[in-house]
Structure 1
Amino acid sequence: MTTTHATAAPTGGGPIPALAVTAYGAPAPQGSLRHIGGGRLVADSPKLRTWRHLVAAEVRRVIQERRHLGEPAGVWPHDGPVAVRLVVTVARPRTVTRAWPLRRSAGDLDKHCRAILDALAEGGALVDDSRVVALSAAKTYPDVGDGTALSGALARPGARIDVTALAPTAN
């Protein structure tokens, strides 16, 4: 199940509001690819495909919702520079009591970013993830009200993603 936070569409050629997407699911890092023969490469994480498709589908849904609210066509996919802020919320293992997700099972933050940025392009928010010129990212456990979660943490595993256009698109 996913939930999103869409902002109102711009009117009169003003700045493009940030594309705000919240996707619930099991975040999967995008690690290295390995060669399996015949020129084929596969991702190390078996959960990666499901996670990327979930995020991409949610991005498409938010863009479609914004178009229904009056945002002009052609805003997304964005072909100009963007800033991305994301907070990845990973499941807290039952035996873990510390505040920070430091176990290998939580995945490296940079590999979570790689998966989400590719999903943004797959979902139609960006022409290509090379358009990201500023990135702010955090990995945290769910916010259970004890004050240990980082700002922006979700109540359950998933990701909160904000994409802000820094300049008009070239298309």
Structure 2
Amino acid sequence: MADLRADRGAETVTVTFWVPGQPAAQGSKRHVGGGRLVEQSKAVGPWRERVAWTARQHHPGGPLQGPISIRLRFVMHRPAATPKRSTPPAVKRPDIDKMIRAVFDALTHVIWLDDSQAVEVHASKRLAEVGETPGVLVEVRVLTNEQENAA
């Protein structure tokens, strides 16, 4: 799913794309000697690469400039023991703030120059419905001055 809109009158640019796969959390780093730090989670590196690769496919231009609004909708793997009739809230790990960090790190220098451009962030996490693919829906919107003041 990709959507790249440019409305020059309002100068609005929106980039939207779906990244399939199990979202991973950007956890802590651990010191391994010689001044080197490595991620504690082995899953976060490949996840960030997948997010960055997908973003490049949907936004081949350079990084967006100015203030941005980001919406992330995480869909988590549905455990086999989850009832089929209803889907409970996704209240187990990974923490949503750490999943946000992983996506932000993946999109720096790809979709935006620096994540300090984010002036508005909306994120949600839920379990996949039966047969639904896990992943994250990413929507990044460049804000106009009026939109930034309302954020």
Q: Under TM normalisation by the shorter chain, which class is it?
A: 0.7 to 0.9
- What is the CA-CA distance between 1:11 and the residue it aligns to? 5.8
Q: Structure 2 unaligned segments of length 5 or more: list them.
A: 146-151
Deviations 1:37-86 (Å, cap 9, x if unpaired)?
Answer: 1111111110101000000001111012xxxxxxxx5xx41231111001
Tell me what 1:67 maps to. Answer: none
Q: Distance in 2 between matches of 1:12 and 1:159?
A: 28
The answer for the alignment partner of 1:69 in structure 2 is none
User: How has the CA–CA distance of structure 1 residues 11 and 18 changed in structure 2, closer, same or farther, with 3 Å as cutoff?
Assistant: closer
Equivalent residues, number: 142
* Aligned-residue identity in percent: 35
In the superposition, relative to structure 1, how do residues 11 and 25 fare at CA in structure 2: closer, same or farther (>3 Å)?
same
Q: How is 1:7-156 mapped onto 2 (pairs within 5 angstroms)?
A: 7-8=4-5, 10=6, 12=8, 14-64=10-60, 76-97=62-83, 99-104=88-93, 107-122=94-109, 124-144=110-130, 155-156=132-133
Q: Is the 8 A contact 1:92 1:101 kept in 2?
A: no
Q: What is the alpha-carbon distance in structure 2 between the residues aligned to residue 102 and residue 94 of structure 1?
A: 16
SS at match of 1:130: helix
Ranges of 4+ aligned residues in structure 1 off by more than 3 Å: 11-14
- Provide, for residues 137-167 of structure 1, a one-character-per-residue CA deviation record: whole Å limited to 9, x for no partner: 001111349xxxxxxxxx3110001001113
CA 1:103–1:96: 2 relative to 1, 3 Å: farther
1:5 and 2:2 are equivalent in the alignment: yes
Shift of 1:16: 2.6
TM-score by length of 1: 0.75
Aligned residue number for residue 136 of structure 2? 159
SS in 2 for 1:28: coil
CA distance in structure 2 between the aligned counterparts of 1:103 and 1:96, rounded to whole angstroms: 13
Q: What's the offset of the Cα at 1:13?
A: 5.5
Q: How far apart in 1 are the matches of 2:127 and 2:112? A: 28
Point out which structure has higher relative CO (alpha carbons under 8 A, 6+ apart): 2
How far residue 108 of structure 1 moved from its aligned partner, in angstroms, is 0.3
Structure 1 Cα separation of the partners of residues 128 and 12 of structure 2: 30
Match for residue 68 of structure 1?
none
The answer to whether the Cα contact below 8 Å between 2:73 and 2:137 also exists between their aligned partners in 1 is: yes
Consecutive unaligned residues in structure 1, runs of 5 or more: 65-72, 146-154
Helix, strand or coil at the partner of 2:31: strand
